[in-house]
Structure 1
Amino acid sequence: MHIDILTLFPEMFQGVFNQSILKRAADKGAFSYQTVNFRDYTTNKHQKVDDYPYGGGAGLVLTPQPIFDAIDDIRTPQNNKPRVVLMCPQGETFTQKKAEELAKEEHLIFICGHYEGYDERIRQELITDEISIGDYVLTGGELGAMVVTDSVVRLLPGVLGNEQSAPEDSFSSGLLEHPHYTRPAEFRGHQVPEILMSGNHAKIEEWRHYESLKRTFLRRPDLLEQRELTKQEKAWIDEWQNS
């Protein structure tokens, strides 16, 4: 996978992309990326990429020319139809399902805005996806693009050390993840559940499923509305509701 990020602040990405799993993924060749300062593409003699909105109003709006030209330059004959993602508070809320969808692509382009918004023609002509990372407003799209990139890249083959890690993540199965424990078996009077040290893998999996469902029931019951519950899951939920 290759990722291009259009931003006025490319230096913001250096710390995030040069650390931890993202750095290892790039070093291993699982993905490549470049940050593109679309100010470099403006034909405005003052290097401006924004202007006042037609019809009046507060703030400045990103002009279409630099972003159109940047994307024209990024597109290649081999892949002239990349997914172009606009980071925008008006977009669909980002989910694990969306991350899994984007992880199947060969080429992603993220556009990070600033100021009051984008010229609507950018949205109409260039964009395949609009994504928001939550119902709040940031000063720009860079942090959102970092979040989405991290979420997508970790799903690429070979990125995580344990290939089972991603499928077992919260939301991947439709449930929140079960509790985890490690050594020591006793810490400040708190014990690791005996079942996890029993060696009975079938019972351990049942315990993990039970705890995962219970955590979802208590913390995110809305997720269960989309789930086709098994007979056993219904029995567990009845138990918690009546307790």
Structure 2
Amino acid sequence: VYGRPGVAVLCTGRELRDPGVKVGVHQLRNSNGPALRAMLKNAGISQIEHQIVPDDPRVLAAKLKSAAARYNVIILTGGVSVGKYDFVPEAVRRIGATVGFHGVAMKPGKPHLYATLRGNRHIFALPGNPLSALTGFGELVLPAIRRLSGLDAESCHVTLKLPLTRPVTSKAKRTAFVLGKLIWGRKGLQVDPVKSCGSADLVAGAQADGVVHVPKNVRKIASGELVEFTPWRPIP
């Protein structure tokens, strides 16, 4: 008998402020935390803890260790790349976790990290840019949570084959994920590409129902062609 795992969401960054808290000129609204909570709830996860953690390797390691004592899955956002204040990889190793991978050939969201701890604990570190975090959650984290919940491997990554309403293009040399909105047309359910100004474009992300998969080195997919689509929310 399997149960749905409890999940801790740790959003890193001294500059982050939760909704309802006044934001200064040097601060940012914490959008990843509420968005990931909503996606987890859509997936049937009810035991969720969310908090903001400062960019301090010792504090971050302590928070990670505390979360791992209570939850099977820990999701971090931000601090996972190779910048001056990207302390997540160091903190993960400091608590004795074994890193499975750090870096995925996908756009957006290349610097994803996955690690494990004793006691069936799983750590997923996602980039801080909102669209990178949401894409990484849908492609990497949610399938793993479904597998931990007891689903067979073939049912963990839910995708649809749907026609495009308009062409999509990509210049990426790795698998790209393009925002898409589901609409009903003459051909039934279709995917309409959503224009984005980059991986921090929250407005575009709010309009999207998921992402279209554009395979590596594919420069263009024509209108009407069938594409693989990962939905971010339940389809009515």
Structure with bigger gyration radius? 1
TM-score range, shorter chain: 0.3 to 0.5
Instruction: Compute the TM-score of the two structures, normalised by the length of structure 1.
Output: 0.36
Instruction: Compute the TM-score of the two structures, normalised by the length of structure 2.
Output: 0.36
Bigger helix fraction: 1
